[in-house]
Chain A
């Protein structure tokens, strides 16, 4: 089956703190068609996210398909609060990169 990388379908792929204990990820599409394609493809679900980031299901705080903005959004708990000793990303803004290469099946 032919696939396209998520980076080529989404307008915005980003991560950022949501408060002190969580990092939230936004995948936003310009076109409704691409949003629906990714939504239906099953490549972005709580299960696939757990696998990609090697985290347990309890680490997923939220998973939302946000139709008004053609966006898929999920949030994970940090292991320690932002800015604690040992944290490498105080703002949580560089945690999205593995999403870019997700292969989305296209017919």
Chain B
């Protein structure tokens, strides 16, 4: 007997980063989907939130989306699944989302339901023990294998889960799932695989839905799309009245934010999209066939780790004098020399972003000559303590004011200040870990829990 198709509603590609547009969401909800799901994580936001254990998304926006999704899911009586909670998928972010769900249940007097959740954080000791046993923590994207030194610099590590904890929590009877860090596509693949659909199509379903309306055109984020899986195909439909899922938009989305448009690696295997066929199914729907999931012969999990580099202050300086603009490198060199005189060569970082020259692209900028009549220089000082970072940024900024250029006409100050101070910024972090490690069991690093909400 043929399996009944399942329909998956996704309103947001990064829950919390910007609020969902509720018009297309409720248009989708009215069609009674079988699941309501969204990914809430991204490593796009830089290493700061993971390292400092914060979110880049405001709490109110997280609550906004969770509230709409929860109320719709409970009303329809279908599972709601969130992956990579709170931008990073760290344990504190999972706890935050579980608490929000409980608060919302109370606020809206919802009948009792089960929340399943899992954690993704791993300890430095866990990796250190593996390394002591001689196991290589393999580098991704050209990185060397992890060294003890890089591990020591790390403040927080998450492992990227596959479908396994989601399937387990559904088996345990969870009505709402809050996931730790996971691959985006597995949030959607897990319920489809559990229902018996082919892995080939289930992982592709996740791949195409994970960024919500980014697979539709015209461009417009935070709008709802619905994916349908059958025994033989995936269909994806835009819910916004003006958006369509076309062959071009869906095929194009396979490239988004990824190095290679054909292959997607997850814990447990690789999705091969090189033989995907895309067809226009109806005005708003694209039909996809031909993806292939190739299971791996080992459980290899991706790790993300972030470590603090130092405290950070920012200075801002403007330049209008044409001679100073032409000699901006000498001005910066003067200021750097003053910092060296005070603090030496190492133990801090002092960076210059020269907007009007190559502030956006740095070394990648092909335009070498300065074509602007004014420059804005952003000075970034990083050091172990706040006091030192402030002083590094202050020397780096104010000494531009005193730079000694032999032929400058203006001798009363070399740069203009919006404010004559440096500003405290969030601490500087660095992605210290982008590696993989092998596991004995795909659930090994992802403990699952069940709790209740409502009454």
Contact = CB atoms under 8 A, between A and B. Distances in A.
Interface of A: 12, 16-22, 24, 26, 28, 30, 52-55, 61-62, 64, 66, 68-71, 73, 75, 77, 79-91, 94-95, 97-98
Interface stretch (B39-47, B200-208, B399-407, B446-454): B39-47
26 contacts: A16-B256, A19-B43, A19-B140, A20-B47, A20-B304, A20-B434, A22-B259, A24-B255, A24-B257, A24-B259, A61-B259, A64-B260, A64-B262, A68-B278, A69-B248, A69-B252, A71-B255, A73-B260, A85-B310, A85-B382, A91-B44, A94-B360, A95-B361, A95-B364, A97-B361, A98-B366
Nearest to A20: B431
B248 A75 contact: no
Contacts of B278: 68
Interface string B111-153: 0000000000000000000000000000011110000000000
Nearest to B273: A68
A54 B366 CA distance: 7
A69 B353 CA distance: 36
A95 B358 CA distance: 11
Contact of A94 (B310, B361, B367): B361
A90 B431 CA distance: 12
B46 A82 contact: yes
B254 interface: yes
A26 B255 contact: yes
B258 A83 contact: no
B262 A86 contact: no
A62 B255 CA distance: 12
B360 A89 contact: yes
Contact of A85 (B248, B257, B349, B367): B349
Given A17-B257, A83-B46, A71 B252 contact: yes
A28 B431 CA distance: 30
B276 interface: yes
A73 B361 contact: no
B309 interface: yes
Interface string B221-263: 0000000000000000000000000011001101111111110
Which of B43, B248, B262, B278 counts the most chain A CB atoms within 10 A?
A: B248
Contacts of A54: 363-364, 366
Contacts of B301: none
B48 interface: yes
Nearest to B310: A85
A83 B430 CA distance: 7
A68 B251 contact: yes
Contacts of B259: 18-19, 22, 24, 61-62, 75
Nearest to A23: B364
Interface of B: 43-48, 140-143, 247-248, 251-252, 254-262, 276, 278, 304, 309-310, 312, 349, 351, 353, 359-367, 380, 382, 428-431, 434
B360 A84 contact: no
B360 A86 contact: no
Contacts of B251: 66, 68-69
Given A62-B259, A68-B247, A85-B351, 16 more contacts: A16-B257, A18-B259, A19-B259, A20-B431, A30-B248, A55-B364, A61-B141, A81-B47, A83-B46, A84-B47, A85-B382, A88-B361, A88-B362, A89-B360, A91-B44, A98-B365
B268 to A, nearest CB: 19
Which of B261, B351, B382, B434 counts the most chain A CB atoms within 10 A?
A: B261
Nearest to A66: B261
B156 to A, nearest CB: 14
B361 A86 contact: no
A17 B254 contact: no
Nearest to A80: B430
A77 B142 contact: yes
Nearest to B351: A86
Contacts of B258: 18, 24
B312 A85 contact: yes
A60 to B, nearest CB: 11
A72 to B, nearest CB: 10
Contacts of A91: 44
Contacts of B366: 52-54, 98
Contacts of B349: 85-86
A30 B247 CA distance: 11
B359 A73 contact: no
B141 A77 contact: yes
Given A21-B143, A81-B434, A73 B309 contact: no
B276 to A, nearest CB: 7
Nearest to B428: A85
Contact of B255 (A73, A83, A95): A73
Contacts of A53: 364, 366
Contacts of A71: 252, 255, 261
